[in-house]
């Protein structure tokens, strides 16, 4: 079945398998199944809508509305929400049910949720079991980490990371697993002491390299396996390697090699995908997965479609940053999981069962349209009901949502607590301010407030070598050469650059993250012929791309 997207000019297909899934996740209330309809938006537009909900990277200082202590928060102080610190929100000094309201069947249901959203206390950050890591969001079990965000779990002494896990002493990395002493690495696994390595694993002491496996002491090398002391894919001496490694303490030399890396990377041979140990999967960066279609960056996923950064889960569709702990039967969710079953149209839902249209529910079940509830059951709009009352009301609410075109659709972007340019959507579906406002999206102006420091200095005026950077830089505000935003170098960060013989960055954290995103492959699958054997394959590279792309069989023959 072909459908036209209600938002963009595109069209999309609904397969028989999709229909089976929609039927499978349709809620059964009082022995009656309430069927979830097919979506009205295409896959990218649905993903954009989900990503427009969470603010993962912007941090503000504001007062807890309960204990009045200052705290780090995803919510700016001028936002009208009631926001509690971690201790107060998880504590027993407030009751979310005191905010409960009756359903008004004369008005749209989502409109009623938005009114309730302004009243119920929100959690300052989604930061679980943090130890000395208060500047982290959508993260958990981190120790001594700073600005570790968006699915960053079980890290220690890491800074400025997106979606990295089980890593130590690493800075400015994205999608890094089990890394140590890594800098600006993307899509890496089991890397040690590496700088600007992309799509690499089981390697150490490598710089400005791409797609390495089991390599050591390599510079500007690509698509090689089990090599040591290579420069530009040719054998080198230890002395030649050590000479270059020592020189990159100077920013000018570092940039010279980085520029060469970016220029050279565009000419490299690419595999059709980076899937490992997968069965019947179409996507990229999938590991240990089975029956996944249009999946990107996943591990231990089975029977899923249209998923992005999903792990250890089954029967998922249209979900981002979700899963973990054998979560099952999720549809249209983001920042969701840690166990649980049958979650539909929810966000920030952790360890929940049988919930629909909930915002930040925790360890709850059988709830509909609730906000920031904890350990609750049979609640609607934060009001407690008996099981029988709940089962009588929910079908009426579904009929109300059908009347207003809400049933079967995720929350509209206007429901997001944040401005569009604060959310993950701005990373993957960037909009200019004018375009965002034309689409009735909120926008937050960047004030570029100067930090309270002893000195402000343009990044271009920083000393070239890390060895010439004074301790006093910890009291400076450095002005980003690209965005004009001020940023600081923290003590832990300066120690890292010195110990790793790396220059201090000249760009703001946001700009550095943007540059890493530009190295990501797009979350879009194309059918393309292998550039060697002409076999048709699924790949993220389009038919008109400049890269040379081989199917798995041809690629493995080439590199081994």
- Domain range for 232 is 156-271
Same domain, 321 and 438: yes
Same domain, 546 and 406: no
- Total number of domains in the chain: 4
**Pair type for strands 279-287 and 290-337:** parallel
Q: Is there a domain that residue 217 lies in? A: yes
Q: Is there a domain that residue 72 lies in? A: no
Same domain, 342 and 436: yes
Same domain, 428 and 504: no
Q: How sure is the predictor about 412, in pLDDT bands with cuts at 50, 70 and 90?
A: very high
Last residue of a domain, one of 419, 446, 473: 446
User: Rounded to an integer, what distance in angstroms lies between the CA atom of residue 307 and that of residue 252?
Assistant: 40
Q: Is there a domain that residue 150 lies in? A: no
| Diameter of the chain measured on Cα atoms | 78
Same domain, 342 and 291: yes
Same domain, 418 and 305: yes
What pLDDT is attached to residue 81? Answer: 96
Average pLDDT over every residue of 229-241: 97
What pLDDT is attached to residue 504? Answer: 97
- Residue 491 exposed, middle or buried by CB count within 10 Å (0-12, 13-18, 19+): exposed
286-340 tens-digit pLDDT: 999 999 999 999 999 999 999 999 999 999 999 999 998 999 999 999 999 999 9
Same domain, 282 and 263: no
Is the pLDDT at 114 greater than 70, yes or no? yes
What pLDDT is attached to residue 98? Answer: 98
Q: Is there a domain that residue 118 lies in? A: no
Same domain, 338 and 441: yes
452-506 tens-digit pLDDT: 788 999 999 999 999 999 999 999 999 999 999 999 999 999 999 999 999 999 9
Q: Is there a domain that residue 147 lies in? A: no
Is the pLDDT at 450 greater than 70, yes or no? no
In eight-state DSSP terms, residue 423 is: S
Last residue of a domain, one of 396, 412, 446: 446
What pLDDT is attached to residue 451? Answer: 67
User: Rounded to an integer, what distance in angstroms lies between the CA atom of residue 504 and that of residue 520?
Assistant: 24
Q: Is there a domain that residue 177 lies in? A: yes
SS3 content of the chain, % helix, strand, coil (to 5): 25, 35, 40
Last residue of a domain, one of 271, 303, 324: 271
Is the pLDDT at 545 greater than 90, yes or no? no
Q: Is there a domain that residue 265 lies in? A: yes
Terminal-to-terminal C-alpha distance of the chain: 43
Same domain, 40 and 161: no
Same domain, 486 and 384: no
Q: Cβ neighbours of residue 419 under 8 Å, at least 6 residues apart?
A: 441, 442, 443, 444
Residue recorded with tokens 């002391």: 229
130-142 tens-digit pLDDT: 999 999 999 989 9
User: Rounded to an integer, what distance in angstroms lies between the CA atom of residue 410 and that of residue 407?
Assistant: 8
User: Rounded to an integer, what distance in angstroms lies between the CA atom of residue 305 and that of residue 18?
Assistant: 9
Going from the C-alpha of 173 to that of each of 320, 424, 466, 481, the distances in angstroms are: 19, 17, 20, 21
- Residue 15 exposed, middle or buried by CB count within 10 Å (0-12, 13-18, 19+): exposed
Q: Cβ neighbours of residue 449 under 8 Å, at least 6 residues apart?
A: 486
User: Rounded to an integer, what distance in angstroms lies between the CA atom of residue 506 and that of residue 121?
Assistant: 39
Q: Is there a domain that residue 539 lies in? A: yes
Average pLDDT over every residue of 366-380: 98
Same domain, 405 and 438: yes
Is the pLDDT at 534 greater than 60, yes or no? yes
Going from the C-alpha of 533 to that of each of 529, 548, 551, 555, the distances in angstroms are: 8, 12, 8, 10
Same domain, 343 and 431: yes
């Amino acid at each position: 079945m072909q459908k036209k997207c209600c938002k963009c000019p595109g069209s999309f297909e609904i397969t028989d398998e999709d229909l089976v899934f929609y039927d499978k996740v349709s809620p059964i209330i009082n022995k009656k199944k309430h069927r979830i309809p097919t979506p009205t938006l295409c896959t990218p537009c649905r993903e954009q809508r989900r990503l427009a909900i969470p603010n993962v990277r912007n941090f503000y200082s504001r007062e807890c509305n309960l204990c009045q202590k200052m705290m780090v928060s995803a919510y700016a102080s001028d936002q009208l929400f009631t926001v509690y610190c971690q201790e107060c929100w998880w504590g027993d000094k407030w009751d979310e049910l005191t905010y409960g309201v009756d359903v008004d069947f004369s008005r749209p249901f989502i409109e009623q949720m938005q009114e309730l959203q302004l009243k119920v206390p929100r959690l300052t950050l989604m930061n679980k079991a943090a130890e000395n890591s208060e500047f982290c969001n959508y993260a958990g079990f981190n120790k001594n980490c700073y600005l570790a965000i968006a699915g960053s779990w079980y890290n220690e002494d890491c800074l400025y990371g997106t979606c990295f896990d089980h890593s130590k002493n690493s800075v400015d990395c994205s999608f890094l697993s089990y890394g140590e002493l890594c800098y600006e690495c993307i899509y890496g696994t089991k890397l040690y002491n590496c700088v600007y390595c992309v799509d690499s694993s089981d390697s150490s002491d490598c710089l400005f390299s791409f797609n390495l496996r089991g390599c050591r002491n390599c510079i500007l090398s690509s698509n090689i396996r089990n090599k040591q002391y290579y420069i530009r894919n040719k054998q080198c001496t230890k002395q030649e390697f050590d000479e270059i490694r020592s020189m990159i303490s100077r920013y000018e030399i570092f940039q010279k090699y980085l520029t060469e890396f970016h220029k050279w990377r565009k000419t490299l041979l690419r595999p059709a995908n980076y899937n490992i140990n997968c069965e019947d999967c179409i996507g990229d960066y999938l590991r240990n997965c089975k029956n996944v279609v249009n999946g990107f960056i996943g591990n231990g996923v089975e029977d899923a479609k249209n998923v992005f950064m999903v792990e250890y889960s089954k029967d998922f569709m249209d979900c981002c940053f979700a899963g973990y702990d054998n979560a099952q039967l999720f549809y249209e969710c983001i920042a969701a999981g840690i166990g649980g079953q049958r979650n539909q149209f929810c966000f920030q839902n952790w360890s929940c069962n049988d919930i629909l249209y909930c915002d930040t529910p925790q360890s709850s079940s059988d709830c509909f349209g609730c906000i920031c509830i904890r350990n609750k059951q049979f609640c609607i709009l934060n009001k407690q009901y008996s099981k029988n009352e709940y089962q009588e009301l929910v079908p009426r609410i579904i009929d109300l949502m059908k009347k207003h075109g809400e049933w079967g659709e995720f929350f509209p972007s206007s429901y997001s607590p944040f401005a569009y340019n604060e959310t993950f959507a701005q990373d993957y579906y960037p909009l200019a301010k004018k375009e965002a406002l034309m689409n009735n999206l909120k926008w937050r102006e960047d004030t570029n407030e100067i930090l309270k420091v002893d000195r402000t200095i343009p990044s271009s005026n920083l000393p070239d070598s890390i060895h010439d950077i004074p301790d006093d830089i910890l009291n400076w505000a450095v002005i980003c050469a690209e965005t004009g935003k001020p940023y600081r170098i923290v003590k832990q960060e300066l120690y890292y650059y010195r110990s790793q013989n790396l220059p201090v960055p000249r760009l703001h954290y946001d700009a550095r993250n943007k540059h890493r995103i530009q190295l990501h492959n797009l979350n879009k699958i194309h059918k393309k012929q292998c550039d060697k054997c002409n076999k048709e394959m699924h790949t993220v590279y389009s038919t008109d791309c400049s890269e040379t792309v081989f199917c798995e069989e041809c690629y493995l023959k080439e590199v081994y």
